[in-house]
Amino acid sequence: MSLEMRKSSQWWYGRFMVNGKLRCVNLKVKVLGVRPADGMKEGDRTFERSRDKALAAFENLTSEVAGNRRAAEYVQQLHRIRTGRKIVSIPLENLAEEWVNLPRKRSVEDNYLATAKARIGRFLAFMREKYPTVVTMSEVTSAMALEFLRKEELNGFSGRTVNGALVVLKSAFRKLAAKADMAVNPFDGIPMKDVDMVHRKPFSQVELKAILDAAADDDFVRPIVIASVSTAMRLGDCCTLRWTDVDLKSDFVRVKTAKTGETAEIPMFALLRQEIEKHLGNRSEFVFPEQAAMYQRNNTGVTYRVRKMFERAGFYDVDAEAQNQKEPAAVDERPLLPVAELQERVLTVLNALPAGVIEADKRARMIEAFGLYVNGATVSAVARQMEISKSSVSVYLSEIEERTGLRVKRDEAAALVQVRAKQLGEVTTARGAGQRRVSVRDFHSFRVTWITLALAAGVPMELVTRVTGHHTVDVVLKHYFRPGREDFRKAIEKAMPGMLVSAPARLLAGDVEYAEAPGPSELLCAALGKLAALTPKNFRLNASEAVALVRQAKEWIDGRVLREMR
């Protein structure tokens, strides 16, 4: 065992043997002062102080190694007494490979595997840095596991990501426990972090119409959008929909979902049937072969095309350029004329230019760019719509200013606010400081929309779960039932007695005139709405109201049974 310096590093290293293998560990002590030509010789005072500090760190490390060895020998002795055989644990470096190769009932998506392996990789990197002497799974302790998760938080990972790492590692250690000769899972007993979930928003009818209009001429995006709007299927299931999943005789789609492996059964709406019939006879196992090929090859390409369709529909994302733009060096003092006057004067000048001064094609492009820009579009939006670069748009606008002497360019950030006021909404929203923006309107929102509309309309929960393939009701209520306030109000009004939601009831000969009483499905739908809206502040009120609604539904059913028995 010895200390070691490297020419390419500023740190001291320690070299020692562990379980017959030579290891070299960074001691996290800097080499200071003037290094001697021969590391064995004495250096200046600063260098020698750093050497002494490194030696102390090395002695602590080697004593820890010796302690671990004694503890390991003690555990081995107990294991031999109990089982008659020696412990043969899994090397920690093989954790990811062993977990990936575990037998499973159904295949796991490549995206999930990549994410899980990345989380295991971060844990292994932490162990190599913090506990270099721990080389097998059986040596990992609960304290080490907890320390890793706390470091994940300090590194800026969200609570959801930390929980994801906990779930993967707990599962890996549990499933490999027997093979690794582990008596205790070090990740057991560690609680999940409380997470403020940012849920995707359902689309309104106006937004759905805008989306379908924007996708109408897009032969790639339109089929999968219609499939999701009509069935609540996820992106992968829509892209890889097979002819064997489609029953045109009974108008049903029956799909084994890729994420959960559950079978979803969905009635086929006329809109989806019409789209599917366009692809009959395509000689492929997939209904939409082009989409299936791209999803299997590069699913981010599908996501990109869907995002561009959302832009055409009127949704927008945060424009980092507009947010981060610097103040101009010189302020343009010229007044910005009203749009109508500015358009008239600019077009008069451009159209009056003699032939040969400017090419006809360029003049047409300048007029188009100017028309879009002056009516509120940003430079980025004009460039996207005309399929030219942003610099070309800026050159056109600058040339117009030069030829007319008028101010055309405006403050881009102010223009962005004006444009967004005319648009449908953001596709992402901000989270806590230091965290990436999170998606609130994307392809998965079609699934949220379908479930929200179905539950708000009184479709029984057992039918909704058959469509979505979920195991439990609470998953649907927590993540997918997201009615807006107005839709929520209408659903509740529909479920409540008429005397409570309409004008004051009339008194007829001392009796109150009631509207027709709601049935059990409406009552239970209202109760689900109350439960979905539970918060710590309204828990007591909403819970009691939900119980009352369920009781009313039970009384309705009991009363009907009694009437039929009579």
- Residue 352: pLDDT band by 50, 70, 90 thresholds? confident
| pLDDT over 70 at 490, yes or no | no
Residues 444, 450: Cα–Cα separation, whole Å: 10
**Which pair of structure tokens corresponds to residue 88?**
């043969």
For Cα atoms 174, 175, 180, give the angle at the middle one, nearest 5 degrees: 85
The residue among 46 and 67 whose pLDDT is bigger is 46
The residue among 410 and 222 whose pLDDT is bigger is 222
pLDDT value at residue 307 = 87
Tens digits of residue pLDDT in 232-259: 888 999 999 999 999 998 888 888 887 7
DSSP code, position 92: G
Q: Which amino acid is at 263?
A: T
| pLDDT over 80 at 211, yes or no | yes
Q: Are 122 and 165 in contact (CB under 8 A)?
A: yes
pLDDT value at residue 444 = 84
For Cα atoms 432, 435, 440, give the angle at the middle one, nearest 5 degrees: 80
| pLDDT over 60 at 348, yes or no | yes
Residues 489, 467: Cα–Cα separation, whole Å: 25
Q: Are 54 and 60 in contact (CB under 8 A)?
A: no
Question: Phi and psi dihedrals of 2, rounded to 5?
Answer: -160, 160
| pLDDT over 60 at 17, yes or no | yes
Query: What number of helices (H) and strands (E) belong to the chain?
Result: 23, 12
The residue among 498 and 228 whose pLDDT is bigger is 228
pLDDT value at residue 540 = 73
Residue in the structure block whose two tokens are 């002590």? 29
Q: Are 203 and 441 in contact (CB under 8 A)?
A: yes
For Cα atoms 351, 352, 358, give the angle at the middle one, nearest 5 degrees: 70
Helix (H, G, I), strand (E, B) or coil at 403: helix
Residues 487, 201: Cα–Cα separation, whole Å: 13
Q: In sequence order, what DSSP letters do the residues of 247-278 get, joined into one string?
A: ETTTTEEEEE-TTT--EEEEE--HHHHHHHHT
C-alpha distance across the termini of the chain, in Å: 93
The residue among 507 and 442 whose pLDDT is bigger is 442
- Residue 147: pLDDT band by 50, 70, 90 thresholds? very high
Percent pLDDT > 70 in the chain is: 73
Residue in the structure block whose two tokens are 């509740």? 492
What is the mean predicted confidence (pLDDT) over 18-38? Answer: 78
Sign of CA dihedral 184, 189, 195, 200: positive
Question: Phi and psi dihedrals of 91, rounded to 5?
Answer: -55, 135
pLDDT value at residue 463 = 74
The residue among 364 and 544 whose pLDDT is bigger is 364
Tens digits of residue pLDDT in 444-465: 888 888 887 777 767 777 777 7
Average pLDDT, the chain: 76
What is the mean predicted confidence (pLDDT) over 49-70? Answer: 73
Residues 195, 199: Cα–Cα separation, whole Å: 12
Burial of 229 (0-12, 13-18, 19+ CB in 10 A): buried
Percent pLDDT > 90 in the chain is: 12
Q: In sequence order, what DSSP letters do the residues of 303-317 get, joined into one string?
A: HHHHHHHHHHHTEE-
Residues 131, 127: Cα–Cα separation, whole Å: 5
**Which pair of structure tokens corresponds to residue 479?**
């993540």
Q: Are 39 and 51 in contact (CB under 8 A)?
A: no
- Residue 135: pLDDT band by 50, 70, 90 thresholds? confident
The residue among 261 and 345 whose pLDDT is bigger is 345
Question: Phi and psi dihedrals of 174, rounded to 5?
Answer: -65, -45
pLDDT value at residue 289 = 95
Tens digits of residue pLDDT in 510-534: 333 333 445 666 677 777 777 777 7
Residues 228, 237: Cα–Cα separation, whole Å: 9
Q: Are 99 and 131 in contact (CB under 8 A)?
A: no
Residues 57, 34: Cα–Cα separation, whole Å: 21
Residue partners of 322: CB distance under 8 A and separation at least 6: 378, 380, 412, 413, 416
- Residue 321: pLDDT band by 50, 70, 90 thresholds? very low
Q: From its phi and psi, is residue 334 left (phi > 0), alpha (psi between -120 and 50) or beta?
A: beta
- Residue 495: pLDDT band by 50, 70, 90 thresholds? very low
**Closest CA relative to residue 390, chosen from 325, 436, 444, 478:** 325
Q: In sequence order, what DSSP letters do the residues of 466-494 get, joined into one string?
A: HHHT-S-HHHHHHHT----HHHHHHHHHH
Q: Tell me the sheet residues that pair with 264.
A: 255
**Closest CA relative to residue 349, chosen from 425, 404, 411:** 404
Residues 80, 66: Cα–Cα separation, whole Å: 21
The residue among 173 and 110 whose pLDDT is bigger is 173
Q: Are 227 and 236 in contact (CB under 8 A)?
A: no
Residues 76, 88: Cα–Cα separation, whole Å: 10
Q: Are 396 and 369 in contact (CB under 8 A)?
A: yes
Highest mean pLDDT among 299-303, 313-317, 421-425: 299-303
Helix (H, G, I), strand (E, B) or coil at 239: helix
The residue among 329 and 236 whose pLDDT is bigger is 236
Residues 476, 532: Cα–Cα separation, whole Å: 9
Domain residue ranges of the chain, discontinuous segments joined by +:
2-83, 92-175, 322-327+334-423, 483-565
Q: Architecture of 322-327+334-423 per CATH?
A: Orthogonal Bundle (1.10)
pLDDT value at residue 372 = 87
Q: From its phi and psi, is residue 251 left (phi > 0), alpha (psi between -120 and 50) or beta?
A: left
